Amino acid sequence: MEETTYICERCGERVPADACTMVADTILCPDCVDTYTTVCDCCGERLFVSDDHGDENITLCEHCYERHYTNCERCGRVISYSDAYYEDDDEDEPLCYDCLQARLQQATIHDYSYTPRLIFHGERDNERFFGVELEIDGNGKSRKNAGEILNVANEDAQNLYIKSDGSLDCGMELVTHPMTLQYHLEQMPWKNVLRKAVELGYLSHRTTTCGLHVHISRAAFGETEQEQELSIARLLYFVEKFWTELLRFSRRTERQINRWAARYGMKLSPKAVMESAKDSRAGRYTAVNLTNEDTVEIRIFRGTLKYNTLIATLQLVNAICDVALLLSDEELQELSWHGFLDRIREPELIQYLKERNLYKNDPVMYEEDE
């Protein structure tokens, strides 16, 4: 039986049928396959080199490029949609990570009203993300200094941006993207960021102007709006019930609290505290700011450049969230401060509670906050 052959449509050579490859409806011999075609790194389809929609880093067929990829507007590099960044929430101008960093270096300090497209860091198991706003003061609203802090904070990922703040005498506000507590502890380079701020001559605790604000995603408090409201009401009640202890924890003075983080006032139940908060029309300068659509902001804490204090603060907020979610109204009403302490296991938080004479054991020696 005569062997079936085909003619390569690229070079004209006659080749056996089992040696031919069909690429884009074109019959090719093995040599032409090697010379003129490549394989999509995304789906594995073979295509002509001239039809490659990728770049020197990746090979893509047209279908995969259009579904999953775009180009950096600044350098032209092909990037997946999941790796694209957008400044000022402008989805018409995708940027790769390197170009975003370069762009941010040109605008290291943003206006107070600036809100970027948020990047959520950490596993989305229960939607409990914390965003930190840390005010630093005393050595100027310097773009050079801001750039140095950003270089440290964003070396491995886009973690932090910086804004101006009119409440500061001579400083700026460091703002993180939303992060899980685990990400704050293990991947956010807080030690290096705080050390850099100190090296540059900034203060936070040792000022009359600086606060440490923690935003909690509302989605962490329940799947429905009703579930969220019930849990947030218990958070408000906890803050009012243990106001004296939290004031000591915060390192704020009564004058600072009244100006920047006023309380709503203790009521008989979580529901009553929530109703009082809604009726107060107090705005955002409250201990627990409820005016944001997507977050609840705890504003009572004084600023700090001490690592253990910052981490302990996040751990406390996380523990309060646990109480708000896991206890009933009645269980929370019966909870004592020592009962709350029995739930605490984190060494950083226990250390700080001892420093502030808020733990069950004897106080410990410690260094003052910066």
At 79-101, the pLDDT tens digits run 999 999 887 555 678 989 888 87
Asked if residue 349 belongs to a domain, the reply is yes
SS3 241: helix
When mean pLDDT is compared across 67-76, 140-149, 158-167, 276-285, the lowest value belongs to: 276-285
* CATH code of residue 338: 3.30.590
> Token pair of 334, please?
């019966």
What is the reported pLDDT for 121?
A: 96
Residues 204 and 326 in one domain: yes
Asked if residue 76 belongs to a domain, the reply is no
**pLDDT above 70 covers what percent of the chain?**
94
Asked if residue 32 belongs to a domain, the reply is yes
Residues 338 and 191 in one domain: yes
Distance CA 110, CA 114 (A): 6
When mean pLDDT is compared across 5-9, 236-240, 280-284, the lowest value belongs to: 280-284
> Token pair of 23, please?
């690429």
SS3 169: coil
Tell me the per-residue pLDDT of 175-231, one tens digit each, with 9 for 90 and over. 999 999 999 999 999 999 999 999 999 999 999 889 999 999 999 999 999 999 999
Q: Per-residue pLDDT averaged across 304-325, rounded?
A: 98
Distance CA 50, CA 157 (A): 34
Q: What does the mean pLDDT of the chain come to?
A: 90
Residues 214 and 343 in one domain: yes
> Token pair of 188, please?
């956010």
What is the reported pLDDT for 370?
A: 65
Strands (E), 68-171: 69-71, 78-80, 130-136, 160-163
The phi and psi torsions of 217 (rounded to 5 degrees) equal -65, 130
Q: How many domains does the chain have?
A: 2
Asked if residue 100 belongs to a domain, the reply is no
* For residue 363, pLDDT beyond 60: no
Please give the C-alpha separations between residue 155 and each of 147, 149, 160, 194, 334, in angstroms, as whole numbers. 12, 10, 10, 15, 46
Asked if residue 125 belongs to a domain, the reply is no
The pTM (predicted TM-score) of the whole model is 0.71
What is the reported pLDDT for 277?
A: 81
Of 67, 93, 110, at which residue does a domain stop? 67
Instruction: Provide the pLDDT confidence category of residue 145 given band limits of 50, 70 and 90.
Output: very high
User: Of 277, 261, 273, nearest to 324 (Cα)?
Assistant: 273
Asked if residue 88 belongs to a domain, the reply is no
Of 45, 67, 89, at which residue does a domain stop? 67
What is the reported pLDDT for 338?
A: 94
Residues 242 and 317 in one domain: yes
Asked if residue 250 belongs to a domain, the reply is yes
Residues 51 and 144 in one domain: no
Residues 58 and 144 in one domain: no
Residues 215 and 286 in one domain: yes
Residues spanned by the domain of 278? 130-355
* For residue 367, pLDDT beyond 80: no
Of 43, 67, 91, at which residue does a domain stop? 67
Residues 28 and 138 in one domain: no
Residues 149 and 295 in one domain: yes
> Token pair of 181, please?
């507590």
Helix (H) or strand (E) holding 48: strand 46-48
Asked if residue 272 belongs to a domain, the reply is yes
Residues 203 and 332 in one domain: yes
Residues 194 and 325 in one domain: yes
Residues 56 and 141 in one domain: no
